[in-house]
Copies of this chain bind each other. A is one copy, B any other.
């Protein structure tokens, strides 16, 4: 199973980039992983929040393959423990899922169509984090899940 990390918007900011790169490299020892940065629609100043979400959503749905298992990161989702995340990855790897996509939405969330397409909606915390920091947290947690599944020493309960 491969993992793709999708994020709408800019490239990684300097303050999270080294961490994202390091954990993505490590994560690649467990699952082939890549980042897909989806540029926000052009002329965003011209669109309302709702229109922007709709446009971003259309981009995302276009890029997804029918068999992709979509995990949406959203504050309104369900929280997981690190062990729970590892179990979810294992469960999906054990089925015929070829690719898991973890999607971090735009600044105002994602469209209803994307919410409906998502097979799992995951909340990292009750706290609201900046999108750039979500990228770093997500990468570290997926790497951690890899070490949990291999019974390695990185994770302390």
- Which residues of chain B have C-beta atoms less than 8 A from A15's C-beta? 18-19, 22
- The reply to whether the CB of A80 lies closer than 8 angstroms to some CB of chain B is yes
- The reply to whether the CB of A124 lies closer than 8 angstroms to some CB of chain B is yes
Are B136 and A140 in contact, with the CB atoms below 8 A? no
Bound Cα distance from A19 to B132, whole angstroms:
11
Contact with B along A53-83 (1 / 0, CB 8 A): 0000000000000000000000000011110
Nearest residue (CB) in B for A130 is B140
Are B140 and A133 in contact, with the CB atoms below 8 A? yes
- The reply to whether the CB of A126 lies closer than 8 angstroms to some CB of chain B is yes
Contacts A107-B156, A133-B136, A156-B107; is A127 near B16 (CB within 8 Å)? no
Are B82 and A127 in contact, with the CB atoms below 8 A? yes
Are A79 and B137 in contact, with the CB atoms below 8 A? no
- Which residues of chain B have C-beta atoms less than 8 A from A19's C-beta? 15-16, 133
What 15 new A-B contacts, CB under 8 Å, besides A15-B18, A81-B127? A15-B19, A15-B22, A16-B19, A80-B126, A82-B128, A125-B125, A125-B127, A127-B137, A128-B144, A128-B156, A129-B140, A130-B140, A133-B137, A136-B136, A137-B137
